[in-house]
Amino acid sequence: MLKVLWVDDEISHLQPHIRFLEKRGYTVYTAESGRDALEILKSRRVDLVLLDQMMVGMDGLETLREIRRSYRELPIVMVTQSEEEELMDRALTGSVADFLTKPVNPSQILLVVKKLLTTGKLKLQQAAMEVMHEAETLRLSRDRSLSDWTHLYTSWIEKDISTRGHLTADFGSFQGVGLDQLQIDFSRFVEDNYRDWIGSRDGPLMSHNFLERVVVPRLDDPGELVVLVIDCMRYDQWLLMTREIEQWFHREPGFMLAGLPSATPYSRNSIFSGLLPRDISRFYRNDWIEEYGSPGLNRNEPKFLVDALKRYGWNGAEDVVYLKASNKREGDSIRKGLSHFMKKGFFALVVNYIDHLTHGRSELDLIRDLAPDVGSFRALAESWFRSSFLREMLLTLSARGATVIVTSDHGSVQAGRIAWVRGARGMSSSVRYRFGLSLSSDPRQAIVIKQPASWGLPDENPRKSYVLARGDYLLFHEHVARDDMHNFRGSFQHGGVSMDEMIVPCDVLTSRKNM
């Protein structure tokens, strides 16, 4: 039950208003002076204070100052005789949450109390109902499209951010389809359509056609162009970064589907080569490494990029600049050398920080403590961005009038449930996807691929197969140590099939300097 403290030296005259609030479920404490109010606050939890400005002895403004010494976030509504400018200023600067002008009626009091105390709850309930409605509509539809799934996912993420992460955290308390089931349904949708997508010129925007569809058409435009790939960036993390970026750029939001497996050797190499992993392995047999965790997974991306741009007929391909920043020192060096790198008007940049943060979270107890859930994980990425070289570089690029294409090779999902993988010795070791000989797993928990070539994957051995985790499952073989299972549970991983991993932003930022 929500509790209100009403402070007024003529509190006896306000009994009808107090009973009005009590009938609507609020507990109302009363105080006839500022000092009485301070004593009540020491011993009782209060959700909101209604404070009369004109009181004998300690007046409202003095009481306000004393309350704020100990309670910085407690909502305080000042009740005043007139709409004084000083109170308006205090309301705008946050010293008071709102103010009311006497004489007040019960409906006015109820409105301001509900606005300050229940708006968040009502907003959460409304957001949950909207997402559940969209989810149920999608599940019942016989003609579901990727754009429908993208709309559902982005709506869910945007509402989750607006409710400070409570939508995802509390979704299980609302009746309806759960988020876990939505992720499984999405994986089935991908399983049914992925082979058609990669086999069609009219398929969705994906890692392997990103260069051809998004980058190449802009290469001959006047002005400077930067392709920015933020490794392992989720849509929610990007959305928080755009709060500042929108001050400097006009943003054309878009989305891309990460290739499978949603991991660096496949999806990021596809971005820079313009090829499916199957074709990378065939054309660059000695230059491509598949096993995740091996050194040099991306060492040939500059070569891939040059060859791809030549293949698409761009005359400046030989002079293309490819850069990678894995830490602040490297990033600052790139930012300071922008004029040099921009000599030909185009360069590509990979930023690895979020990828390091994601993997570091599963390896370092400190990061696990700082980011135990989705909301805190996204906040950690936002905090990094605010003080990063990337923020300063984007500001500089805006001042130069550059256009920036921003995307990610894949996102990540917070994994928790266990799925078992069986197969011959020598299978790969990642926990969201596996490849090896004659692999098998529960089809309810993972996608088992027996014909890799049809999925755009390498098939150098006729017995080679892949297993991709659905939803939030982790893939383990039956002899895994229990400590390993414990270390990965709750960590953010990628390589499988979920909306968080596969639906990534693909935005075009146009400098406002040119507008």
Count up the domains in the chain and report the number.
4
In 3-state terms, what secondary structure has residue 152?
helix
Distance, CA of 120 to CA of 149 (rounded, Å): 27
* DSSP output for 47-59: SEEEEESS-SSS-
pLDDT value at residue 363? 59
Task: Identify whether residues 84 and 35 lie together within a single domain.
Answer: yes
Domain CATH number, residue 228: 3.40.720
Nearest to 330 by CA among 310, 304, 311, 349: 349
Distance, CA of 55 to CA of 499 (rounded, Å): 57
In a domain, 182, yes or no: no
The kind and range of the H/E element at 509 are strand 503-511
In a domain, 263, yes or no: yes
Q: Of 102, 117, 132, which one is at a domain's C-terminal end? A: 117
Task: Identify whether residues 281 and 158 lie together within a single domain.
Answer: no
Q: What is the dihedral of CA 473, 475, 477, 481, to 10 degrees?
A: -80
pLDDT value at residue 511? 93
In a domain, 189, yes or no: no
pLDDT value at residue 134? 82
What are the tokens at 33? 């002076």
In a domain, 97, yes or no: yes
Task: Identify whether residues 276 and 385 lie together within a single domain.
Answer: yes
Task: Identify whether residues 312 and 397 lie together within a single domain.
Answer: yes
Domain CATH number, residue 88: 3.40.50.2300
In a domain, 186, yes or no: no
E strands along 326-378, which residues? 346-351
Number of CB atoms found within 10 A of residue 426's CB: 8
pTM: 0.83
Strands 464-469 and 433-437 come out as antiparallel
Q: What is the dihedral of CA 307, 312, 318, 321, to 10 degrees?
A: -80
Question: For residues 433 and 253, is the Cβ–Cβ distance under 8 A?
Answer: no
Task: Identify whether residues 254 and 305 lie together within a single domain.
Answer: yes
The kind and range of the H/E element at 131 are helix 119-140
Task: Identify whether residues 419 and 409 lie together within a single domain.
Answer: no
Task: Identify whether residues 222 and 133 lie together within a single domain.
Answer: no
Task: Identify whether residues 144 and 106 lie together within a single domain.
Answer: no
In a domain, 249, yes or no: yes
Q: Residue written as tokens 């993997």?
A: 359
Task: Identify whether residues 507 and 399 lie together within a single domain.
Answer: yes
Question: For residues 499 and 470, is the Cβ–Cβ distance under 8 A?
Answer: no
User: 418: domain range?
Assistant: 414-492
Q: Of 148, 177, 206, which one is at a domain's C-terminal end? A: 177
- The values of phi and psi at residue 111, to 5°, are -60, -45
Which amino acid belongs to residue 268?
A: R
What are the tokens at 351? 């930023």
In a domain, 89, yes or no: yes
In a domain, 188, yes or no: no
Task: Identify whether residues 253 and 377 lie together within a single domain.
Answer: yes
Would you write out the chain's pLDDT as a tens digit for each of its 515 residues?
789 999 999 999 999 999 999 999 999 999 999 999 999 999 999 999 999 988 988 988 899 989 988 988 899 999 988 666 666 666 556 588 888 888 889 999 999 988 888 766 766 677 777 787 787 788 777 788 999 999 999 999 988 888 777 777 666 544 455 778 889 999 999 999 999 999 999 999 999 999 999 999 999 999 999 999 999 999 999 999 999 999 899 999 999 999 999 998 999 999 999 999 999 999 998 887 787 666 666 889 999 999 999 999 999 888 899 999 988 899 999 999 999 999 889 999 999 988 877 776 555 666 677 778 888 889 889 999 999 999 999 999 999 999 999 999 999 999 989 999 999 888 998 999 999 999 999 999 999 999 999 999 999 899 999 999 999 999 999 888 777 788 888 889 999 999 999 999 999 999 986 55
Task: Identify whether residues 168 and 223 lie together within a single domain.
Answer: no
Task: Identify whether residues 408 and 332 lie together within a single domain.
Answer: yes
